[in-house]
Chains A and B, each alone.
Chain A
């Protein structure tokens, strides 16, 4: 599989969907394609991040550490992007990501990612849109969760 296939794949990812083909090619060409053996850790919670990953093939598990135990919170699959928050916001990783079975990713280094954003404002806008959508969804989820908590409190209290 070469750059051309990767470009096709990137095209299907919402974050990059609106970018021109040549930009996607640039992204693919300047990124490293990495294969991870089953069980390999892409990154660990609380580490500082230096790269974001795009899943090309295989699945990965998102794990959150609590009380010394790792709790799986999500599963990532082909076309998912992971790790971009830590590099955009410069905060430690919020979760651990581990390959479930053999996994292939495109690794976008932090400085590369920023340079792309600086170079192509349309990409920044796209990222903003995606993040805003996520925020909106999270807010909705939170509101729903809050309502559910109140409901439960009401049941117990009542």
Chain B
């Protein structure tokens, strides 16, 4: 990368800069004209009336003009010049702005690409908290600077020069006086500026540390809370903020001092004019008129001079920012960017051997991990790697998949040098997975097919508008040397996954999910997921058919009716809460969530209309009384509060006086906040679960009446806040499972949950919905960096992703370590069968896993191969390393 911003600007925008310069120069005459014309208008068009009656008519371009005509013509010309001048300015500004943005875009892209080219060990020394602000905030001001880099100093410098020449032409001595202080300014100001620059550098570094700390706080938030170290972090953060404050304050002081000094020196020059010039006028060696002209010229001089000085400060700022960012992106060992060619040819067939020849790997700090390793690993057989202590097995695996580069020695894949292979080709042939794969904040499916996205595969059929937009996108991207691939194309390489196209990819996805035993989890996620019944009308209809099948089953098997209480318009559901019964639907958004109903004006009005308000207050008081009675003696932090109580521990004491007041004065007397608090309690009651006998048959009937009123009078602004239960319609707000069941599992029936699950499972199988539900599961988001998945689920997803590519060589680094031993063994057996005849290098965490049927076991110790052979050979070897490990593991 270019060492300085000037060479960067010159190299990539030479022609554009010259163009800006050129346009600036040709705009000069116009600018001059807008200054000159008013003079002509006043002197020649307006003033002559009194002096010279013969001046008119004037002949202009063959036209004879009277004074008014001449005036209007000149004014018209003035207007035209003003507009042309404005147009020039507009054109230059837009052009410069675009140039700056393009250059900024190029710089950012270049930096990002360098991040992608960093070797892995670089990230041990450079955190994302440092990288992010560099590429985003720190380079931002450079864009504005680039447009001005050459044009501004040339323009202002030229103007300055013109004025100076004018002054010198009037009187050389005064000219000398005018510039007498420039050398001093030119000497002192950069000197002072240098201090400011140093401080600027410090500030940038400190802000990077700051953003690194914020990043650490977010990633380490669990540690912070579990160790109670909040105060330490706050103090540390304060220290950094203090440092930034001090630096900035110092910068302000120095900057304003420079300004002060500069202003002073500028004011000093007129002092010379008045004294020396005045002296000369009195002596008679200078005309008074010339002195006035020089003074006027000097006044004009200060404008460009200030601009130049400002520009100098800005350019210094830009120079440092650029330098400080770029030096972080110039490590010696960048991956060559020609390895990223998207159209690289696949390595087909994959050579049979991966050869390590005299391979040594040392950490950047010098620790040797692998020493002069000579090893041939077949890519047609399965090898288990066991690390018997400091063996460097992990490094061996990462070298084999080229995530790391050997310090010395060579790795060859058949006749190819591994180090020289294009990454796209290698990425298709080799998969690497460990137990903590990075998951992107996207759907399960996107994470699964992530490994198939090496290049755009299928160009979508764009309409004219879209293809014009794409054309534009690519042209702009090329102008800034960005990637010119279409991000909107289908990047999924179905062929790599062994699928003919998008339609049968799902079969392959299910296959790999089953291989890693994740299909069941995805199925459950699907059952708990939601769909958009408009976009997926076919599926919604099939789910409705399943709902019908459940109902039919219950009609035919009366004993199972005890398991489920179906939703019905005219029946109170004793397995659902009062809130659910009142709404008779699923809330969408926040407005009608169960815990906010008592605060909702419409709900309250419905209760008033149906005469239920007082009853709600009374029942609320009964609930409160019971809660106080039951939970009073428990310590406030007790988990029962969370699990069972209707009232949180901290609120419990506040309910006591409320209940007392109600008992004394009656429900009608209780008003305001306290009334609402009591009214909020009954909404949570579930008749068959809580068994408090507070919602009796009569009350249930009245609630049904309230349900009817609620629906009948629902105002338009709440219409979107609820999706009513309707036996004949798919409920978009409810999960798939709730849609199929269309009711509640009854409380109090032994084993009802399991039996309902069986019933649902049977219906789903019969209607062949299993695959569709997995599809819904695959569409579920995995959360930020996979946070919604459990550890084993994330591991399995990473493994499935590695498998989907059908790699010729699969490298697994303890990829199943987070699975329980039984699952791990089953998955290993499946993988070994699937990878039979292809290459599998698996570093196992438990040596016992190496017995799962590998062709060979490789044992590493102290950076060397300790032994190698089949499981049987090695475990029977007397005094063998593996035999020892197995024996000690029991």
Contact = CB atoms under 8 A, between A and B. Distances in A.
A and B are interacting partners:
yes
Interface of A: 1-4, 6, 22-23, 25-26, 28-30, 32-37, 40, 42, 115, 119
A115 B640 contact: yes
Contacts of A34: 748-750
B557 interface: no
A2 B689 CA distance: 10
A29 B749 contact: no
A33 B644 contact: no
B723 to A, nearest CB: 30
A33 B640 CA distance: 18
10 contacts: A1-B691, A2-B692, A26-B640, A30-B640, A32-B747, A32-B748, A40-B750, A40-B751, A42-B750, A115-B640
A121 B632 CA distance: 17
A4 B694 CA distance: 12
Interface string B653-669: 00000000000000000
B842 to A, nearest CB: 34
Contact of B633 (A22, A28, A33, A115): A22
B557 to A, nearest CB: 13
A2 B693 contact: yes
Q: Give the top 5 A-B pairs by smallest Cβ distance, nearest first.
A: A2-B693, A2-B691, A34-B750, A36-B750, A26-B630
Nearest to B634: A119
A150 to B, nearest CB: 45
A67 to B, nearest CB: 29
Nearest to A107: B750
B701 interface: no
A37 B562 CA distance: 10
B749 A35 contact: yes
B862 to A, nearest CB: 45
B631 interface: yes
Contacts of B823: none
Contacts of B639: 115
B807 to A, nearest CB: 43
Contacts of A29: 626, 630, 644, 690
Given A2-B691, A29-B630, A33-B691, 16 more contacts: A6-B691, A22-B629, A22-B630, A22-B632, A26-B630, A26-B631, A26-B640, A32-B747, A34-B748, A34-B749, A35-B562, A37-B559, A42-B750, A115-B639, A115-B640, A119-B634
B748 A25 contact: no
A9 B638 CA distance: 26
Contacts of A23: 633
Interface in B737-751: 747-751
A37 B748 CA distance: 12
A46 to B, nearest CB: 19
B558 to A, nearest CB: 12
Contacts of B691: 1-3, 6, 28, 33
Interface string B414-433: 00000000000000000000
A83 to B, nearest CB: 14
A104 to B, nearest CB: 8
Contacts of A4: 693
Contacts of A1: 691
Contact of A30 (B559, B644, B749): B644
Interface string B139-183: 000000000000000000000000000000000000000000000
B635 to A, nearest CB: 8
Contacts of A22: 629-630, 632-633
Nearest to B749: A35
Contacts of A33: 691, 747-748
A36 B748 CA distance: 9
Interface of B: 559, 562, 626, 629-634, 638-640, 643-644, 690-693, 747-751
B693 A25 contact: no
Nearest to A1: B691
B59 to A, nearest CB: 110
Contacts of B747: 32-33
A12 B631 CA distance: 22
Contacts of B748: 32-35
A143 to B, nearest CB: 39
A23 B692 CA distance: 16
Nearest to A105: B750
Nearest to B627: A29
Contacts of A6: 691
Contacts of B749: 34-35
Contacts of B631: 26
A32 B749 CA distance: 10
Contacts of B626: 3, 25, 29
A22 B630 CA distance: 5
A25 B91 CA distance: 82
A119 B749 CA distance: 29
B470 to A, nearest CB: 60
B606 to A, nearest CB: 27
B637 to A, nearest CB: 12
A23 B630 CA distance: 7
Contacts of A2: 691-693
A122 B703 CA distance: 43
A119 B641 CA distance: 14
Contacts of B562: 35
Contacts of B632: 22
Contacts of A25: 626, 629-630
A115 B629 CA distance: 18
A30 B626 CA distance: 13
Contacts of B633: 22-23
Contacts of A42: 750
A29 B689 CA distance: 9
Nearest to B689: A32
Nearest to A104: B748
B759 to A, nearest CB: 15
Given A25-B630, A29-B630, A35-B750, A3 B638 contact: no
A98 to B, nearest CB: 12
A4 to B, nearest CB: 7
A150 B326 CA distance: 98
A8 to B, nearest CB: 13
Contacts of A26: 630-631, 640
A23 B751 CA distance: 27
Contacts of A28: 691
A40 B559 CA distance: 14
Contact of B692 (A3, A35, A119): A3
Nearest to A29: B630
A34 B751 CA distance: 9
Nearest to A119: B634
A119 B639 CA distance: 12
A156 B750 CA distance: 51
Contacts of A119: 634, 638
Contacts of B750: 34-37, 40, 42
A142 to B, nearest CB: 35
B514 to A, nearest CB: 30
Contacts of A3: 626, 690-693
A11 to B, nearest CB: 15
A34 B85 CA distance: 89
Q: Which of B640, B693, B747, B750 has the most CB of A within 10 A?
A: B750
A1 B691 CA distance: 7
A28 B692 CA distance: 10
A25 B633 CA distance: 12
A18 to B, nearest CB: 16
B745 to A, nearest CB: 13
A6 B796 CA distance: 47
A6 B630 CA distance: 14
A29 B633 CA distance: 15
A27 to B, nearest CB: 9
A10 to B, nearest CB: 13
A23 B632 CA distance: 10
Contacts of B643: 30
Q: Which of A26, A29, A34, A115 has the most CB of B within 10 A?
A: A29
A20 B801 CA distance: 59
